[in-house]
Amino acid sequence: MNSLNPGSPDTLLVLGKVIRPHGLEGLLRVWSYARSEVSFIDAEEIYLRHDSGKLYAYRVLSVRPHKNILLMNLKGLDSIDQAEEFRGAEVLAEYEAITREEGEYFWDELIGLKVFLDTGDYLGAISRIIPAGSNEIYVVGSGEKEIFIPATYEVVQEIDLEKGKMTISAMEGLLDLNEV
């Protein structure tokens, strides 16, 4: 187990969370925030972070889907006892190691974006994102009034990270039906 400090936390992206060990050989059951196991494999090296903030670097040997989670095999993690030490740990990778396609964004880039209708009306800022199968749901606002925006090409017209804003088109019934 290699403890380290890889530099600024701004260079790391949270890809998932260790649920618990799987089997006796040191496999980890991981709840993934990434679109697929490819992100973990592309990273080649991941970091496990305890609640204490301490980071441990591991080389990824394999990652495979198992039911609704991933099973991850890391070099040097060879027993259930070693794997148990990372129950609840965050799984991180360097931003540069993760490939993404045109129009893909990391969640932490989207949280806080100001959301406007294509008419110019301000709706609020993205407070959180809910994974929902084929597309995510952006939760706009907080407290008493939240609006749920589906992350689809029909609704999201533009994302401008430099200006910190997202423009959406209000499909019929979208704003009336999903307010909480």
Q: Is residue 177 part of a domain?
A: no
Residue 73 and residue 120 in one domain: no
Same domain, 12 and 77: yes
Which of residues 74, 97, 120 is at a domain's end? 97
Closest alpha carbon to 140 in 166, 119, 159: 166
Is the residue at 178 inside a domain?
no
Is 102 within the bounds of a domain? no
* 12, containing H or E segment: strand 12-22
Q: What is the pLDDT of residues 138-149, one digit of tens each?
A: 999 866 788 999
* Domain edge (last residue) among 44, 63, 97: 97
The answer to whether residue 14 sits within a structural domain is yes
Count of Cβ atoms closer than 10 Å to residue 145 Cβ: 11
User: What's the predicted TM-score (pTM) here?
Assistant: 0.69
Point out which residues pair with 58 in neighbouring strands: 46
> 26-49 pLDDT, tens per residue?
999 999 887 778 888 888 899 999
DSSP three-state, residue 39: helix
Residue 7 lies in a domain: yes
19 and 89 together in one domain: yes
Which strands make up the sheet holding 122-130, listed edge to edge? 145-150, 137-142, 122-130, 114-117, 165-168, 156-160
Both 92 and 112 in a single domain?
Answer: no
Q: What is the pLDDT of residues 78-123, one digit of tens each?
A: 999 999 999 999 999 998 888 777 777 888 889 999 999 999 999 9
Query: Do 114 and 160 sit in the same domain of this protein?
Result: yes
Range of the domain at 152: 107-172
* Residue found by looking up tokens 């925006």 in the block: 149
Say which CATH number the domain at 145 has. Answer: 2.30.30.240
The answer as to whether 79 is a domain residue is yes
Pick from 68, 97, 126: which residue ends a domain? Answer: 97
* Structural domains of the chain, count: 2
